[in-house]
Chains A and B, each alone.
Chain A
């Protein structure tokens, strides 16, 4: 069973450009969250998708948008890139067990904005 996958692994963009990152959750997981991790920091929650709807959103501007497809995969779009958007972007898929809910992370997409 493949875990959470993300593409691309690395990306270099210039200021003002737009970027799309992709995520496929673990098989059977229908909820996806996106996080931004700046260098030397913990991940910060961007937003979460369930049943193709944005269910929660963190403190990120509208330049950050997303989408979830019927197969539960998801995209993160960032418009008008700023230097400060350089970070590791992580996708997590949610699993519920008898112990509760856990989130499993993909390897991330490292974005560099020049």
Chain B
């Protein structure tokens, strides 16, 4: 079993829709959770960063962490064609330059 599970999709939605992306994990030591966006043939770009359980909002993006269920989500409101990319969840345990553990990534397409 992988430490982090993420549905690879592909996921295709119409422009303006609310998108929900999710990851589950098995290691209860994970405390810091990130979402990266990766455009085709580019490096991952940090979108959201959260610590422990709770919600964090940044513009059209909301990150949600439920440590009791070992489940994290990223919501994208008013989705745009420019949001079409692969979204990677990543997590790490105790801070101190630890390695990130990534999900497989979900490929998302927003159709105009």
Question: Is this pair of chains taken from one and the same complex?
Answer: yes
A positions within 8 Å CB-CB of B: 4, 6, 31, 33, 35, 40-45, 48, 50, 55-56, 58, 90, 92, 94, 99-108, 110
Q: Which of A4, A40, A90, A102 contacts B104 (CB 8 A)?
A: A40
Main secondary structure of the interface of A (DSSP, over half): strand
- B104-A105 in contact (CB<8A): no
Whether a CB of chain A sits under 8 angstroms from the CB of B65 is: no
Which residues of A have CB within 8 Å of B51? 99-100
Given contacts A40-B104, A42-B104, A99-B51, A90 and B98 within 8 Å (CB-CB)? no
B positions within 8 Å CB-CB of A: 4, 6, 8, 32, 34, 36, 41-46, 49, 51, 88, 90, 92, 95-105
Q: Say how far A21's CB is from chain B's closest CB, in angstroms.
A: 13
- A90-B44 in contact (CB<8A): yes
Q: Which of A44, A55, A56, A105 contacts B45 (CB 8 A)?
A: A105
